Amino acid sequence: MFSKDTYIQRRQELKKLVGEGVILIFGNNNSPCNFPNNGYYPFRQDSTFLYYFGQQRDGLVGVIDIDNDIETLIGDDIDIEDIVWYGSVESVHDLAEQVGVHNSAPMKSLKTICNDAMSKKRKIHFLPPYRFDIKLQIFDLLGIHPNQQKEEASMDLIKAVIKMRSTKTPEEIEELERAAVIGYKMHTTAMKLTRPGVTEKFVGGQVDGIANSYGAMVSFPTIFSQHGEIMHGNPSMSILEAGRLALCDAGAETINNYCSDNTRTMPVSGKFTQRQLEIYSIVEACHDYALEVAKPGVKYADVHFAVCRLMFDKLKELGLAKGDTEEAVKAGAHAMFLPHGLGHMMGMDVHDMENFDQINVGFDEEVRPNLEQFGTNCLRMGRRLEEGFVVTDEPGIYFIPALIDDWKASGHCAEFLNFDKLETYKDFGGIRIEDDLLITKDGCRFLGKDRIPYHPKDVEDYMAANR
């Protein structure tokens, strides 16, 4: 946890931004894995609840009555049977005091608070719920059907939380730096273990273990696969083969649940082939180019398309693409190779505040998403960058056999793509390089005091020295 004053100040700012009414911020409940008493471990609290109320315990709700300037932490104290199994825990009253909340009450009182507010026709603000138990709780409290809760959620509250959580404070940046340290250990562990004969599952499991032993948990399910062309290729029992590439996309959460998110692609044999090196070098150049152009005031959508143009130019040199680069990118031809956005916001969630919809988090009234064009519709972040934003920089080049076949059959972007040459890359896989960018006053920098090797020679040298 941060200091008590941090949470007090955050709630004061939230009250100013929202203006009036009653704010309900729901913490998470334990989630069963395969039966009620076998819950997922470790418990993961809702990020917005953590941001304003700081407590990791399940079964809590934060209530902020703006008009009467009353803050209350709602939750039931655990009973003796729970203490027998889980040990003594602090009372809800004590938890409230730790974060500067002067009132606490049992869960049954939440219905009374809501009924009173509704009877006086006061605005009740809540965020879009993403867990079904919370949806049912909101239904019981406010009478809003789960199917309508996303639309009924408070846009005033959503905008206020996004405004506050988007810009990282110095103490948050320190946490993100700690997450980067764990991320470095995770990815260098993968490089040490990657070799012919071991399974994807083994390497992925060891990477997860690093996150669990140095922090709270992984920031998302680890991706480790020889099929880098599959965006979310979770580790399988497949054995790593000489001559293939292995892609590792993994991150950690600190004890305070701030995230890291990095991707590295490495040769299973320890040495890149010439063909692999040609593609890898393009991704490397695109990754580094983002560092040059990302700065306050620049739209991240513009950074994305600048990277796409650079990538397409270089792919033309290899004979995989052709035609006018500007027209090709406008037509979406680059999405054959890069079907996702350059990056996303990151903080307490690896896709920061994703439950508020990326159209609200990554875009604004000025910069709107293009939901029609393949690839471009996957941009999570397009708005102008501001000092204190943290975004990922993750260009990639992928050769997806089904996509090649589909576009070839339909003739889509045929004037910009050499399908005959693409056919010879169907067994290639994919390459992605990803780091986390902090937007500074005059530009940006990568998070993490130690850079996970990514220049080709550095990757090869590190693998040779640590296998």
pLDDT tens sequence across 394-426: 999 999 999 999 999 999 999 999 999 999 999
Per-residue model confidence as pLDDT tens digits over 266-310: 999 999 999 999 999 999 999 999 999 999 999 999 999 999 999
Beta bridge partners of 35: 38
DSSP codes of every residue in 76-92: PPP-HHHHHHH-----H
- 242 in Cβ contact with 209 (< 8 Å): no
Q: What is the pLDDT of residue 86?
A: 78
Compute the average pLDDT of residues 423-443.
Answer: 97
Q: What is the pLDDT of residue 278?
A: 98
Maximum Cα–Cα distance for the chain, whole Å?
A: 73
Q: What is the pLDDT of residue 221?
A: 96
Q: At what angle do helices 274-293 and 456-465 cross, to 10 degrees?
A: 120
CATH code 3.90.230.10 region(s) in the chain: 170-465
Q: Which amino acid is at 70?
A: I
Q: What is the pLDDT of residue 344?
A: 97
Enter the CATH code of domain 170-465.
Answer: 3.90.230.10
Look at strands 70-74 and 103-105 and give their pairing: parallel
Which of 51-55, 88-92, 285-289, 459-463 is predicted with the least confidence, judged by mean pLDDT? 88-92
Beta bridge partners of 253: 217, 259
Residue 85 scores a pLDDT above 80 = no
Q: What is the pLDDT of residue 361?
A: 97
Give the pLDDT band (50/70/90) at residue 87: confident
What are 40's two structure tokens? 């997922």
| Residue scoring higher pLDDT (33 or 191) | 191
User: What is the residue-averaged pLDDT of the chain?
Assistant: 96
**Alpha carbon distance 283, 405 (integer Å):** 23
Q: What is the pLDDT of residue 336?
A: 98
Compute the average pLDDT of residues 152-165.
Answer: 98
Compute the average pLDDT of residues 55-84.
Answer: 94
Q: What is the pLDDT of residue 39?
A: 84
Residue 88 scores a pLDDT above 80 = no
Compute the average pLDDT of residues 370-394.
Answer: 96
Give the pLDDT band (50/70/90) at residue 386: very high
> Which CATH number is 4-166's, of 3.65.10.10, 3.40.50.300, 3.40.350.10, 3.30.300.10?
3.40.350.10
Burial of 83 from C-beta contacts in 10 A (0-12 / 13-18 / 19+): exposed
Per-residue model confidence as pLDDT tens digits over 13-66: 999 999 999 999 999 999 988 888 888 888 999 999 999 999 999 999 999 999
**Alpha carbon distance 198, 452 (integer Å):** 22
Q: From residue 154, how far is each of 67, 165, 457 by CA, in Å?
A: 16, 16, 51
Q: Which residues contact 462 (CB under 8 A, 6 or more apart)?
A: 188, 191, 453
Give the pLDDT band (50/70/90) at residue 239: very high
Contacts 24+ apart (CB under 8 A), 358-366: 360/158, 360/159, 360/162, 361/162, 361/166, 362/300
CATH code 3.40.350.10 region(s) in the chain: 4-166
